Amino acid sequence: MPRPTTHQGEPNLEIRGLNWAYVLIGVADGTLLPFIPLFLLQRGLSAQLIGAVLAAAALASLVAGMSWAYLADRRLRPERILVVASAAAALASLLLALTKGALVLAAVIVVLWLARAPFMLLDPITLRRLRKAPRTDYARIRLRMSAGWAGSVTLSGAVFQVISLRLMPFVYAPLTLLFGMWVWRFLKPVQAIESVELPPLAGVPRRVPKVPVAMVGFLASAFLLGASLAATQNFLTLRISFLGGGALIIGAAAAFQALTEIPTMGYTHVLTRRLSHRGLYAIGCAVYVV
């Protein structure tokens, strides 16, 4: 009896590989990202300096991420970039345990964010494999990251509360290596779709394609939304700490945020029958305004 296949006729084994890749990256990131502001605070950095460090790290990650995406489109296999990035992120995170001084610590955080920048390629890797499937299939895969994050951030918050936040690099490093090994084993590179370029007509200058105005507006809104989310998530950690909460409460708050995403992602195929993608995006933005 033949194995079940996806919409593309590919074995379900590859979809399971994607599912677990999202779980593993969610588990790994759940031991690191929510606790970085608290880690910096405990190392003596002020709230203003923490904001500056995280802003510099985010800017470096943005530039590096776009550069890696450019290379992945033209020369390198994105799956292999993820594997190398996981090893680099593991090594960079271990440097957190060895650093002393605010400036050195800030530099290590930027290096860690640079190393993690290629992780954003996991989404285009998934979408490339689902290019002939309904868009809602991506949401049902992506929710695994939120589930892995929710469980990981709660457990790691409890561990850091009882033992010490200095344990964080030693927890994150093996987990991100595990993610890289999983990608190496189960996400094999796929052949990119090559576009056929027609030779230019004689005497007609080549024109650079223009970015649609709608795309510019969408990218601007995505940037503003990302900036607001980053500010909320990073400084919510500090606010909880200033109110007397520790790593456990910070982890529980981050887990609650992730858990609220899962039903929406799981039932996206139902919601899109009643609402357009544009409408769902607008509603999602409005939730944060409220």
Helix (H) or strand (E) holding 109: helix 102-116
Confidence of residue 203 (pLDDT cuts 50, 70, 90): low
- The answer to whether residue 105 sits within a structural domain is yes
Residue 179 lies in domain: 12-192+224-289
What confidence tier does 200 reach under pLDDT thresholds 50, 70, 90? Answer: low
Signed CA dihedral, 152, 155, 158, 160: sign only = negative
What's the pLDDT score for residue 253? Answer: 94
Least confident span in 166-175, 181-190, 224-233: 224-233
In this structure, is residue 218 part of a structural domain?
A: no
pLDDT in tens, 15-59: 889 999 999 999 999 999 999 999 999 999 999 999 999 999 999
Buried residues in 159-190 as b, exposed as e (16+ CB within 10 A): bbbeeebeebbebbbebbbbbbebbeebbeee
**Cβ–Cβ under 8 Å, residues 82 and 118:** yes
- Asked if the structure places residue 213 within a domain, the reply is no
Structural domain contains residue 202: no
pLDDT, tens digit, for every residue of 105-123? Answer: 999 999 999 999 999 999 9
Segment 169-197 shows an average pLDDT of 85
**153-171, pLDDT tens digit by residue?**
999 999 999 999 999 999 9
Report yes or no on 172 lying in a domain. yes
- Is residue 257, in this structure, part of any structural domain at all? yes
Q: Domain containing 242 — which CATH number? A: 1.20.1250.20
Is residue 35 one of the residues assigned to a domain? yes
Q: What is the CA radius of gyration of the chain?
A: 21
Identify the pLDDT of residue 132. Answer: 65
Instruction: With beta carbons less than 8 A apart as the criterion, state whether 148 and 57 touch.
Output: no
Specify if 118 maps to a domain: yes
Split into its structural domains, the chain has a count of 1
pLDDT beyond 60 at 82: yes
Closest by Cα among 27, 43, 176 to 108: 43
pLDDT at 201: 54
Lowest mean pLDDT among 72-81, 194-203, 269-278: 194-203
Q: How far apart are CA 36 and CA 153, in angstroms?
A: 12
